[in-house]
Structure 1
Amino acid sequence: MSRISHHQLRTDLRTLLSGTCCYHTASVFDPMSARIASDLGFEVGILGGSVASLQVLAAPDFALISLSEFVEQATRIGRVAQLPVIADADHGYGNALNVMRCVVELERAGVAALTLEDTLLPAQFGRKSTDLIGVDEGVGKLRAALEARVDSELAIIARTHAGVLAVEQVIERTSAYQQAGADAICLVGVRDFDHLEQIAAHLRVPLMLVSYGNPALRDDARLASLGVRIVVDGHAAYFAAIKATYDCLRQQRQLACGNDLSASELAHKYTQPEDYFVWAREFMDVQE
């Protein structure tokens, strides 16, 4: 099989972003899943930060994974990927200077794009887990990311949480990120089409939507008409892998089939999030 260069994969993603169709991502988390996604005809994949945390640390998505650990996983995927892969780069692993390092490392790993979010990560003492950084800081991070990239085809996607702000504030943020040069805007927490339409009306760049399968947003033609080019439905493939591993090992041990746990229940059980919540309340006074 002939290999496709990282530059060409980035160009392919740019073509998707500049087109008129809406595509759903394949959740890819290792070289095998990347090859499967490509073979099945997926146009784009995504390496989720939450999935990387599960796979590398068996930990919940509390911004515990380091940049180097995330880059290692992205590099393994980049060696074999035959489809463009978007990396969920969380907050860029720090301030604007850390963002520059993040972009350099993920570009070398071979990703086609990365998302940078404006969530206040990691969680700060006495702050809510959904708090966002200021718009000016978000713009500074984006400008730093654009400065750091070498391959101009690498897409820098600004991500914000539309579900925790008034729509006017979402419009202010996304317009500022567009003005700063973001190649696309990623929206989390969009409730329905009316909510999406209000935001999209003020934007010219392509949109990426993290919908988690929201039934109120299941209309690809309508999404495409509003500028949505990429939809992330979640990471069911990795959770299915957890479930398959559990069932196979349980069968190997010839254990009774009672107490059959779902994939999400298994992930919850083995990441032990209750411990992290206790520690966060005790040491950080985290407010939910």
Structure 2
Amino acid sequence: MLNHEINRRFKSRITGGGALLLPGAANALAARVIEDLGFEAVYLSGAGLTNTYLGMPDLAFISLPEIAQHTAAIRDATELPIVVDADNGFGNGLNVRHTVRTLERAGASAIQLEDQKTPKRCGHFSGKEVVPLAEARSRIRAAVDSRQDENTLIVARTDAAATDGLSEALDRAAAFVEDGADITFVEAPQTVDDLRAIPARLADTPQLVNLVVGGKTPILSVDDFTDMGFALVLYANVALQSALFGMQTALTQLKDQGRMDESGPLAGFMERQRVVRKDLFDDLDNRYAY
């Protein structure tokens, strides 16, 4: 399926009502699992990519070429819409223009930009700082102007709730809507009342809520978030955290017992091949044989 059509369908789904559960993937294999399980879209997490690709914390170590490389790999592995975390756009409006055009070519269906200063931090870390509102708005305007497909969505995130309070964050989100953002994302609200206030204030624009297991935002059900008026319920790193737990579990058993077979806590060999579509590549190999 062409990316334009993927984007068009995703845009229609986001504006069609009912919260969409959005799991994060740090690589193409995780995206394959997410699609295989029947989710409707996938999120390329900057934090997850930093953790898995570099083995480092989410403190602005990932670059645009690395994000674009992984976006392209996920696009090749799945036909799901991809929401891509582009951090703060890697600079000023001109840098944001380059970021959006690069990620759109790589296969992004939606591109998320935030208002943090460089170096940025994970949204659930302490010590964040945001740029002045005028600078933040210039990033969103540049992103909106730079996309080539009108169905590519711009997600405008603000971290101002942590630095200046929820009211300032809501004001920023409203300003981003004026600048053309398709979705707004108020990061790290800390109470249920704060959560309710977000779609109540920004009712005319789809809202994303980010749920970090062990993080600052209360975890509620998808139905609860639908009732509040959210359009996207993001679990950016559940796949990563469960994979880390799974590796620790399996490798501890291997170390303790000195052996591992298919009775162990792992997917079998054939299941691994099924998820990565080996049968598809076998068919292609036969088709192009000479």
Please indicate the TM-score interval, normalised by the length of the shorter structure: 0.7 to 0.9
Structure 1 unaligned segments of length 5 or more: list them. Answer: 257-288
Give the 3-state SS of the residue equivalent to 2:164 in structure 1.
Answer: coil
Report deviation, 1:217: 4.6
Give the 3-state SS of the residue equivalent to 2:186 in structure 1.
Answer: strand
Instruction: Give the paired residue count.
Output: 251
Q: For 1:127-171, what per-residue CA distance to the aligned partner results, in whole angstroms no more than 9, with x for missing partners?
A: x83111111111100011111110111000000123433232122
Q: Does 1:230 align with 2:232?
A: yes
- Counterparts of 2:217 and 2:134 in 1: how far apart (Å)? 34
- Counterparts of 1:85 and 1:32 in 2: how far apart (Å)? 14
1:242 aligns with: 244
Alignment of 1:3-152 (within 5 A): 4-122=1-119, 129-152=127-150
Q: Which amino acid aligns with 2:235?
A: D
2:222–2:233 Cα contact (<8 Å) kept: no
- Counterparts of 1:143 and 1:59 in 2: how far apart (Å)? 31
The 1:215/1:122 distance shift into structure 2, 3 A limit, reads closer
- Counterparts of 2:24 and 2:194 in 1: how far apart (Å)? 26
2:41–2:80 Cα contact (<8 Å) kept: yes
TM-score by length of 2: 0.79
1:120–1:129 Cα contact (<8 Å) kept: no
- Counterparts of 1:105 and 1:34 in 2: how far apart (Å)? 20
Q: Which amino acid aligns with 1:209?
A: V
Alignment of 1:258-277 (within 5 A): none
Identity %: 28
Give the 3-state SS of the residue equivalent to 1:130 in structure 2.
Answer: coil
Give the 3-state SS of the residue equivalent to 1:186 in structure 2.
Answer: strand
Structure 2 unaligned segments of length 5 or more: list them. Answer: 259-290
Note the aligned Cα RMSD (angstroms): 2.3
Report deviation, 1:253: 4.9
Structure 1 runs (4+) deviating above 6 angstroms are: none
Report deviation, 1:251: 4.5
Q: Which amino acid aligns with 1:54?
A: N
2:201 aligns with: 202
TM-score by length of 1: 0.80
- Counterparts of 1:40 and 1:123 in 2: how far apart (Å)? 32
2:24–2:239 Cα contact (<8 Å) kept: yes
1:188–1:210 Cα contact (<8 Å) kept: yes
1:212 aligns with: 212
Report deviation, 1:254: 5.1
The 1:134/1:215 distance shift into structure 2, 3 A limit, reads closer
Alignment of 1:145-184 (within 5 A): 145-161=143-159, 162-184=161-183
Q: For 1:76-129, what per-residue CA distance to the aligned partner results, in whole angstroms no more than 9, with x for missing partners?
A: 1011222111111110112211111110111011111011011112159xxx83
